[in-house]
Amino acid sequence: MTTPNRPGEFALIERFFKPLSRTTPFVRHGIGDDCAVLSPAADDELVLSVDTLVEGVHFPRHYAPAKLAVRSLAVCVSDLAAAGAHPEAFTLALTAPELNESWLQEFSRVLAAEAERYGVSLVGGDTTRGPLCLSLQVMGSVPRGQALLRNGARPGDLVYVSGELGGARAALDYLESLSPTEAQQSYLQRYHSPLPRLALGQALRGVANAAVDISDGLVADLGHILRSSGVGATIYTDRLPVAMGLRDVAQGVDYALSGGDDYELCFTVPGEYQAHLRALEKTLALPLHCIGEVIDGAGLKCLDAEGVVYETAAGYQHF
Amino acid sequence: MTTPNRPGEFALIERFFKPLSRTTPFVRHGIGDDCAVLSPAADDELVLSVDTLVEGVHFPRHYAPAKLAVRSLAVCVSDLAAAGAHPEAFTLALTAPELNESWLQEFSRVLAAEAERYGVSLVGGDTTRGPLCLSLQVMGSVPRGQALLRNGARPGDLVYVSGELGGARAALDYLESLSPTEAQQSYLQRYHSPLPRLALGQALRGVANAAVDISDGLVADLGHILRSSGVGATIYTDRLPVAMGLRDVAQGVDYALSGGDDYELCFTVPGEYQAHLRALEKTLALPLHCIGEVIDGAGLKCLDAEGVVYETAAGYQHF
């Protein structure tokens, strides 16, 4: 039952992960107990999200531990951005085939830097033996009743997306490339280091009727808003912010519509907020694109520049 | 990218897991969004714990889905018991090699019944493809400042354990048995269906100085209290509540000291609470055994009936 010549789980957590656990007004008691103890402010609600990343499915085999740390935390924090929340804390369930100290050292070093960047404290976790797999749960706070949800879109709302789409999907074509071009490097950057749109999400509280982050692809994720809200939408391919360099590529529009992993926000807003959003994109230095509108009914219709229905894949399916 | 002939993740979550998501005063918005939204009462803190269970490591291969549902939720809720918390909600990250609908149906059916039993609502999760592995995070509420932690044990405290120890470890010897005896059946029951000591944990708020649940074995888990509190302890093998039928077996005491999976509570209390605990064990119909005392210093000393140091394994090591 014992493996006395190797450091056990507790020594490992102590050494590599406990430094990521900090006490804050929100985190009264972090790592090192059966439970963490969190104290949300009385006027706040707590939002939380879970993401699991499996080697060979959600990240490449033999993925560098530094890249894994960056990507896995960003992917989770992006869910908080979509809810308009302020990041506070996270837990990490790490399953690994063996105790590889140099891997853990690099992973935890970069995870610490990323956690610092987002202001999240590690409040718990679990390390187990098995195929490489991470399950992260992030928690954030949001003023009571103000979390952005998927179910508030209304007919007449405008559909917006932030930033650019398709780059992360294009990166999958170059993951193994030894000498990527500059454009390819920017796609790879999108894939490896997504930028959760936290400031945008927080600024959309009280403005957007519904929001999601684009993890599975625009069509799939906007589809969540439509189903949850009981509405339909029309979007236009010529308004899509296709990532630079992909607009002239045959699959550019498909990548923007159906490729996942961009982690931009898609949201719906009443028309009267258009001027507000134009001001916001200057404040945030982040382009915001109106790509269509919410309509009565159900389903997503995608029209090309000639007004013809554009057929596309349905986004990434988990199974 | 798509697998149109099989139900996707979202249909699967909708069908099998959404019924487990209920709105409560604590859970304002459950499954079906980027984030869940939780509203702890203003006077409460939120405690949370993560547990990962990997097939072949934490549960046998080809383990019945019903048993997996019972055991995995109980194991997690036990951490809330150790904190003295009231269970409120949980998330489930499920990784499975394929979409097996009959497996999911049985697993979710029993998970729903267990969630109902503990009063926890499923507030989020994630299903991914990969080797069978579950990561559950449970959340509970506890009056502000009253969570039981590991770090409060003081020299002079008495060390208590609830119930019986060693039965779950003994069960591992009979997991494959086709015709277990009555005693073996009771061990198997302990292993498959642990009983989180929630009422005990809640009753120990303001009474116990430190508490843990016994998942890795008494020696290992009491060790957590001692290290966190900066104290030592002496315990006595003849006071251990060795599970019925194991007392006369050669490994009985070792199973009680080092076998994990019993999910009883181990806690330390100032001596003046002895009478209170005698009353409590009647109220709860749960035996509470004083097995030793906390002392100045460090480390755990285990003495047999003759006062000789008893050598034992150090409990289950995760790696």
| Confidence grade of residue B319 (pLDDT, cut at 50, 70, 90) | very low
Q: CATH homologous superfamily for B158-303?
A: PurM-like C-terminal domain (3.90.650.10)
Backbone angles phi, psi at A116, to 5 degrees: -60, -45
Residue A315: band (very low, low, confident or very high) from pLDDT cuts 50, 70, 90: very low
Average pLDDT, chain B: 90
Amino acid A254: pLDDT: 93
Q: Which of B5, B15, B34, B58 to mutate to test the interface with A (most CBs of A within 10 A)?
A: B34
Confidence at A192, pLDDT banded by 50, 70, 90? very high
Complex ipTM value = 0.83
Residue A38's pLDDT is 93
Supply the pLDDT for residue B1: 26
pLDDT (tens digit, 9 = 90+) per residue, B216-269?
A: 999 999 999 999 999 999 999 999 999 988 988 888 999 999 998 999 999 999
- In angstroms, the CA A61 to CA B24 distance is 41
Alpha carbon of B200: minimum distance to chain A alpha carbons (Å): 16
When pLDDT is averaged across residues A245-273 and rounded to a whole number, the result is: 93
Is residue B7 predicted with pLDDT exceeding 60?
Answer: no
pLDDT of B152 higher than 80: yes
Looking at per-residue pLDDT, the higher value among B12 and A57 belongs to A57
Given a cut of 80, is residue B178 above it in pLDDT?
A: yes
Which pLDDT does position B299 carry in this prediction?
Answer: 92
CA-based nearest distance A66→chain B, Å = 22
Would you call A46 and B46 a contact, using CB atoms and an 8 Å cutoff? yes
Looking at the domain A9-143, which fold is it? 60s Ribosomal Protein L30; Chain: A; (3.30.1330)
Shortest Cα–Cα distance, B255 to chain A (Å): 11
Answer whether residue A46 shows pLDDT above 70: yes
- Pick A15 or A139 by higher pLDDT: A139
Give the one of A56, A126, A144 whose C-beta lies nearest to B51's C-beta: A126
- Domain locations in chain A as residue ranges: 9-143, 158-303
Q: What is the pLDDT of residue A154?
A: 98
Contact between chains at A314 and B144 (C-beta distance less than 8 A): no
Predicted local confidence at residue A101, as pLDDT: 87
Spell out the residues 6+ positions from residue A272 whose beta carbon is closer than 8 angstroms to its own. Answer: none
Q: How far is CA A38 from the centre of its chain?
A: 23
- The pLDDT of residue A9: 65
- Write out pLDDT tens, residues A200-223: 999 999 999 999 999 999 999 999
Predicted confidence at residue A299, as pLDDT, reads 92
**CB neighbour class for B60 (10 Å; exposed up to 12, middle 13-18, buried from 19):** middle
Q: What is the pLDDT of residues A146-184, one digit of tens each?
A: 999 999 999 999 999 999 999 999 999 888 888 999 889
Q: Give B79→chain A minimum CA distance, Å.
A: 5
Residues of B in contact with A318 (CB under 8 A): 8-9, 127-129
Residues 4-23 of chain B with CB under 8 A from chain A are: 4, 6-10, 12
- Among B36, B149, B318, select the one facing A48 at the smallest CB separation: B36
Nearest CA in chain B to A25: B45
Find, in chain B, the residue whose alpha carbon is nearest to that of A6: B319
First vs last C-alpha separation in chain A: 36
pLDDT of residue A5: 34
Q: Give pLDDT, residue A10.
A: 64
Contact across the interface for A35 and B80, Cβ inside 8 Å: yes
